[in-house]
Amino acid sequence: MNRIRRETRETRVEITFGPEADTHFATGDRFLDHMLGTLARFSGLALGIEAQGDLRHHLVEDVAITLGEAVARITSPACSRFGWALLPMDDALVAAALDLGGRPWYEGPLPSRLYDHFMRSFADHARATLHFRVLRGRDRHHIVEAAFKGLGLALRSALGEADDALSTKGSVRLDVEA
């Protein structure tokens, strides 16, 4: 089991991940816990996340940063690297595309500034290119949840093993310091 911690004057975040991790979410923010549970379920990742924060914005941002760093740690040179999903959820239809090739970039937006910022912080610290396109939807909850489900499915695919390095450079190697 792997563990990563982030502690500032504003927040404390601890994430356990890997096959032996106990999947649970305790951030004190029920919607964030719901989105993290959705992401874990759709990605197939065993994640335990405990966090506290002074403000909701700081909490959500620091969870995203720490989760991104966890994904960077488990990204292997042998992974498929790319993943994408088109996710319908009630009135929402969201496309998600992901590249774990080490070039951070985020394109949105999502209809929630807080969760748009979550995705940007996640992409930066996962060293990933992440794009969302909201094709339809009126309910912000449904759109954000569809984005988390789409990211989960894209992660499941991108973290899977590839037969060959998917790069014209021959291979992609990421070194992440602990």
pTM of the complete model beyond 0.85: yes
Q: Is 178 domain-assigned?
A: no
Q: How do strand 105-107 and strand 129-136 relate by DSSP bridges?
A: parallel
pLDDT digits (tens, 9 = 90+) for 80-123: 999 999 999 999 999 999 999 999 999 999 999 999 999 999 99
Residue 167 is predicted with a pLDDT of: 57
Domain containing residue 107: 2-158
pLDDT digits (tens, 9 = 90+) for 68-77: 999 999 999 9
Q: Is 55 domain-assigned?
A: yes
* CATH number, residue 143: 3.30.230.40
Q: Is 73 domain-assigned?
A: yes
Count up the domains in the chain and report the number.
1
Q: What is the distance, to the nearest Å, from the Cα of residue 106 to the centroid of all Cα atoms in its chain?
A: 12
Name the pLDDT band for 175 (thresholds 50, 70, 90). low
* Range with the poorest average pLDDT among 14-23, 57-66, 115-124: 14-23
